[in-house]
Chains A and B, each alone.
Chain A
Amino acid sequence: MDDMQHIDIVGDYSEVVMQYFDGSRRRVLVTNNETPMPDGRLIVSRTDPEGIITHVNDSFVDMSGFNRDELIGQPHYILRHPDMPAIAFKGLWQTLLEEGKKWHGYVKNLRKDGGFYWVYATVIANVRNNQVVGFTSVRRKPSRRKVEEAEALYKIL
C-alpha cells in the first residue's frame, strides 16, 4: 500500500511507520483532528475472507475521507490508526475465525487527511451454505465515556 502523502494532510502531523500483519510497511501521517461520528448513521463495509474491502456504504466513504475507488480492493488495515494496539485486531480475527462468533470493540480509525474518528464496531462472518464468504462490519456512534475508557486501555496495551 502506498505511503500517505503530505499533500493530503490537513494540519500539523507526525510520521509513523506501520508494520502490518502481512509483513508490509507503510508511512502514515497523523494529526490530532477528530471527526465526530454523526448521529443516526451506520458505517458499513464488507470484505472477502482475507480482509480485502469489497463494499462500502456512503457513510463509510464520507467518514474515511477516501474515494470509493481508493477503498475497494484494499486491505482493511488502510484505516488502521497507530494508536490502535495490534492485540485488539488479533482478538478480532481470533473471535471471528477460531470461535466463529461476532466481535465488538471500540476502534480509532485513521482518515485519509491524517485525522481520526472513533466508532463502536461489530464484525460478523457472512456464512452462505455453511461457508464463510466474507465479513461485514457495522460501526455506530460510541459514547464519550466509552471512548475515554478505550483510549486509556489502548495506551497500556
Chain B
Amino acid sequence: MTYNFTVSPDFNPSYLSGWFIFNTWLQRQTGEAIHLDLYDDFDLQRQAIAEDKFDLIYANPYDASVLVREKDFVPIACPAGKSDEAVIVVAADSDINTVEDLPVGLRIAATKDPDVNMMCMIMLEPADLDRNNTTTQHRDTYVLLAKDLIRGEADVGFFLEETYNKLSRIVKSQLKPLVQSQIQVINHVLLLGPALQHRQSEIQQALLDMATTPVGQSLLESLSFTAWAKVEPEDTEFMIDLMDTLET
C-alpha cells in the first residue's frame, strides 16, 4: 500500500526540495511507500483532505484542528522552538506608525494563509477595523505582497514573520513592520492519519532522533528546522481550543 503525505501550502518555496528529501528519508525509515503530494492552493488541498486522501500531513494550526477533531488524525511532532507569528507590514515611507493610525477603507494585501490572516485581522481590531470596513486583495506569494506595498497598491500586508524576515535586504529596506504577534503557542504540526497510526511510536522516535545524526541534521537544515519536538495530543487540543477562541 502507498501512503500519501502532504504539506501545508504555506511552506516556503525554498524548502520545496527539502520536503522531497525528507519524504525519501521517511520512506527509508519506515520501509513504506509514501507519496508526497504538494499543493500551492489551500482550497484544493482542503478538498483533498475532505476526501481522506492523506495519511500524513504537515499542517498549519487551522487545518490541524479539523484533522484532529473531525478526521481522527494524531499529532506527533512539531519543529522545535518555532511558533507561527504574524506581522503587519507597511511601506517604509508610509505615514502610518501605529495600528491606531490605520483608516477605515484600509487596503490589505494578503496571501491565503489562514492563520496569518486570522492573527493579522485580530491585530487590526484596536483600530476598529474588520472585514466589513477594509478591502483585501489576495496574492499567491509573500513576495507579491511586498511589491504591492512598495508600489503603493496596498496600505498594509499580512506576512508570516519568518517569511518576512527572509525577504531580501533590498526589499525589506522599502518596508517597515507595524505590529507583530507574540502568541508563542500556535505552530504547525505533523499529524498521522488512521491508516498510519500503527507505526506512530516508531515514526515519532525516528523524527525525535533526527537531530542526533549528521545526516538528520542536514535534512532538518534543508527545512530550516533545528529539530523535531514531541507533541502530545493534549498540546494540540490546547492549541485548537485557543484557535477556537480566536475565530469570529
- Seen from chain A, the residues whose Cβ lies within 8 Å of a Cβ on chain B are 39-42, 44, 46, 57-59, 102, 120, 122-124, 126, 128, 136-138, 140-146
Contact = CB atoms under 8 A, between A and B. Distances in A.
B245 A41 contact: no
Interface string B14-50: 0000000000000000000000000000000000000
B126 A142 contact: yes
Interface string B113-126: 00000000011011
A40 B125 contact: no
Given A39-B123, A143-B125, A143-B128, A124 B244 contact: yes
B51 interface: no
Contacts of A124: 241, 244-245
Contact of A128 (B183, B237, B245, B246): B237
Contacts of A142: 125-126
B224 interface: no
A40 B244 contact: no
Given A40-B179, A41-B182, A102 B245 contact: yes
Contacts of B125: 120, 140-143
Contacts, number: 59
Interface of B: 98-100, 122-123, 125-128, 179-185, 237-238, 241-242, 244-246
Contacts of A57: 184-185
Contacts of B237: 126, 128
Nearest to A127: B241
A143 B127 CA distance: 6
A17 B137 CA distance: 53
Task: Give 9 closest A-B pairs by Cβ, nearest first.
Answer: A122-B245, A138-B245, A143-B128, A40-B181, A39-B179, A136-B241, A141-B126, A143-B126, A40-B179
Contact of B182 (A40, A120, A122, A138): A40
Contacts of B98: 39
A35 to B, nearest CB: 15
Contacts of B244: 102, 124
Contacts of A136: 238, 241-242, 245
22 contacts: A39-B98, A40-B179, A40-B181, A41-B181, A41-B182, A42-B183, A44-B242, A46-B238, A57-B184, A57-B185, A59-B182, A102-B244, A102-B245, A124-B245, A126-B241, A136-B241, A140-B125, A141-B125, A143-B127, A143-B128, A144-B100, A146-B128
